[in-house]
Amino acid sequence: MINLPAVSAIYKFEMMRTWRTLAQSIASPVISTALYFIVFGSAIGSRIAEIDGVSYGAFIVPGLIMFSILTQSISNAAFGIYFPRFTGTIYEVLSAPISPLEITLGYVGAAASKSIILGLIILATAAAFVPLQIAHPVIMLLFLVLTAVTFSLFGFIIGIWADGFEKLQIIPLLLITPLAFLGGTFYSISMLPPFWQTVTLFNPVVYLISGFRWSFYEISDVNVWLSLVMITLFLSIALGIIWWIFKSGYRLKA
């Protein structure tokens, strides 16, 4: 039986932190994404009229939303669990009658909720610039939620692994951001030479962006069902690592 009051307490505390830092948590990512949209949409959109029958401005919207969700999910979850470790209050949580599952649900649920809200705000903002169509809204929401939860779990792992504030930024800056830029955020991988198309398929972010874009325009670089399998696999791996962390006490019992 899940201790819902405990999960709710952690969840509400983390969400309240978001409202206290609204400019940093919501406004800043939205403005950054809008700038990406304006710069890339104007600079490249003037040279590329359409991709697979979709205007370039509309084509990059799913990629920009997914890019924001990836980075913000990791950032929110990593900071959410790292700060209690930094201040020592994590030991109060660990000593309370709360299971590892409930701790994870509280922190990861809040981080994922923030990212989903942010993604929907960016979607509404993009609709003000270009005409959008969502061919499969249920699939779109499924990708949105699965991606937010998966990368919030990944951020939770980073927050436990990190032993300094600078390490919280290493993975997002040196790994996630390059993978997102090279994963079809601003282009279709079909535009690449055959060799680089093959290389790009080893980038896991390609499957997330491609599947999410398919839910909008029914165009994708890889099969949508393969995209769902891949994100489910990432989710399972992240859950397995978190299970091991709590079982072994890695970075929590020191």
Q: What is the pLDDT of residue 200?
A: 92
Q: Give the per-residue pLDDT at 26.
A: 73
The mean of the pLDDT values for the chain is 88
**Which candidate, 74, 27, 35, 56, places its Cα nearest to that of 170?**
74
Residue 216 near residue 132 (C-beta atoms within 8 A): yes
Over residues 156-170, the pLDDT tens digits come to: 999 999 888 888 888
For the whole model, what pTM was predicted?
0.91
Low-confidence residues in the chain, pLDDT < 70: 21-25, 41-42, 45-46, 254
| Cα–Cα separations (whole angstroms), residue 172 to 128, 137, 175, 184, 211 | 29, 28, 6, 17, 21
pLDDT at 94: 85
d(CA 141, CA 57): 21
| Residue 111 near residue 77, CB atoms below 8 Å | yes
Res 45: pLDDT: 65
pLDDT at 254: 58
